[in-house]
Amino acid sequence: MSAPVSFLGELLSGDRPRSRVLAVLLVAVLIALAAAPFLFPGTRSLNVAAKVAVFIVLVASYDLLLGYTGIVSFAHTMFFGIGGYGVGIAMGKLGAGWGSLALGVAIALVAATVLAFAIGLLSLRVRAIFFTMITLAVASFFQILASQLSWFTGGEDGLNFKLPPMLLPSTRLFEAPLFGVDVTGRILSYYLVFLCALGLFLVLLRVVNSPFGRVLLAIRENEFRAEALGYRTVVYRSVANCVAALGATCAGVLYALWLRYTGPDTTLSFNIMIDILLMVVIGGMGTLYGAVLGATLFVVAQNYLQDLMKLASDGLAGVPLLPALLHPDRWLLWLGILFILCVYYFPNGIVGRLRKTRT
């Protein structure tokens, strides 16, 4: 019994949930994502599961900046886009091969690292608000560049590309269905996304629980004291910016592979940046597990709240006023109200509240 527990603790880098309810929720999300093609058959549900897996990585990488280092950056979607465009351009120009995929990923990771280190080294010396404004300006410039260079990036229409034959929906891996589901290249693509997302999350968990992560926490709590202890805070924050950028780039790669498309609206939109901030705050800043709960709740609500409201509106057809209030067209209003209530009652996020109550 102690061996599996010890292995699990090592896998989680010693950062246990410290709450029974949180542990149950995390296991439930893991099982739901791992068995999604069989538990929730259908194109829409599989798309939601894949998006949840991708955004867990994206939000966790941003939490490394905001929650662990205290850096507010608006350039995170830029690195998300670099990953998507790196794969899209490489496979669109060089063909749907594994070599093109590897080259696109490598170029995207190198470009993201260089750009993140340059932004961090040149901007993190100034006050936090100025760094935030600089990242916003750089991200806006990159979005405009992607939209204007239509001959290279596809412009506003984005880029469609083909995947290697093994990952195509028309490819059947087994003659007979498995648990009633045809195992195709689409399901293989999903498990590629899921396993890579799981591995990346565990890597980020290792980073924040390493000595490097503890220094980041010290910088967040008191930058001057950390500097007095001999830590070069600019270097540490610049490296943290690079690690977070690499996480966002990998998330962009996975999202582009799943969609077989990349474009300004799917990776570079400022609305995505706002969504990431909401997910971090709702899940709990500085926990990383908050990224799992925040991303899952947000993406599921985005995709299914409108349907639930339609059912409620139809069921209350004879009641005055309520059907109009619950009309599906007002789903964004109720989504905003739900998140305001969530932030109000969970000021430290869901994970922070669960750990505080020790339930």
- Pairwise CA distance, residues 299 & 282, whole Å: 12
136-145, 186-195, 349-358, range with the lowest pLDDT: 349-358
How does pLDDT run across 156-186, given as a tens digit for each residue? 888 999 888 888 887 887 777 777 777 888 9
Q: Of all residues in the chain, what percent carry a pLDDT higher than 90?
A: 39
Select the highest-mean-pLDDT range: 47-51, 127-131, 211-215. Answer: 47-51
**Is residue 107's pLDDT more than 80?**
yes
Structural tokens at position 82: 């670099």
Residue 254 pLDDT: 96
CA distances to 88, 93, 144, 258 from 161, rounded to whole Å, are: 6, 9, 22, 11
- Is 218:18 a contact under the CB 8 Å cutoff? no
Which helix H or strand E contains 160, and what residues bound it?
strand 159-160
The whole-angstrom distance between residue 48's C-alpha and the CA centroid of its chain comes to 13
Compute and round to an integer the Cα radius of gyration of the chain: 21
Q: How many CA atoms lie within 13 A of 188 on its CB side?
A: 15
Average pLDDT, the chain: 87
| pTM confidence score | 0.93
How does pLDDT run across 25-48, given as a tens digit for each residue? 999 999 999 999 988 878 889 999
48-62, 65-79, 177-191, range with the lowest pLDDT: 177-191
Query: DSSP assignment, residue 183?
Result: -
Among candidate residues 349, 315, 309, the one with its CA nearest the CA of residue 329? 309
- Pairwise CA distance, residues 291 & 284, whole Å: 7
pLDDT band for 127, please (50, 70, 90 cuts). low
**Is residue 11's pLDDT more than 80?**
no
Question: DSSP readout, 34-73?
Answer: HTHHHHS-SHHHHHHHHHHHHHHHHHHHHHHHHTTT----
Q: Which amino acid is at 148?
A: Q
6-20, 190-204, 231-245, 275-289, range with the lowest pLDDT: 6-20
- Is 292:29 a contact under the CB 8 Å cutoff? yes
- Pairwise CA distance, residues 205 & 199, whole Å: 10
- Pairwise CA distance, residues 49 & 35, whole Å: 10
Structural tokens at position 237: 């924050």
How does pLDDT run across 289-339, given as a tens digit for each residue? 999 999 999 999 888 888 888 888 878 777 777 778 887 778 778 878 877
* More confident position, 342 or 38: 38
Among candidate residues 51, 80, 55, 72, the one with its CA nearest the CA of residue 246? 80
- Is 54:197 a contact under the CB 8 Å cutoff? yes
**Is residue 6's pLDDT more than 90?**
no
What φ, ψ does residue 327 adopt, rounded to 5°?
Answer: -60, 140
Residue 128 pLDDT: 64
- Is 8:23 a contact under the CB 8 Å cutoff? no
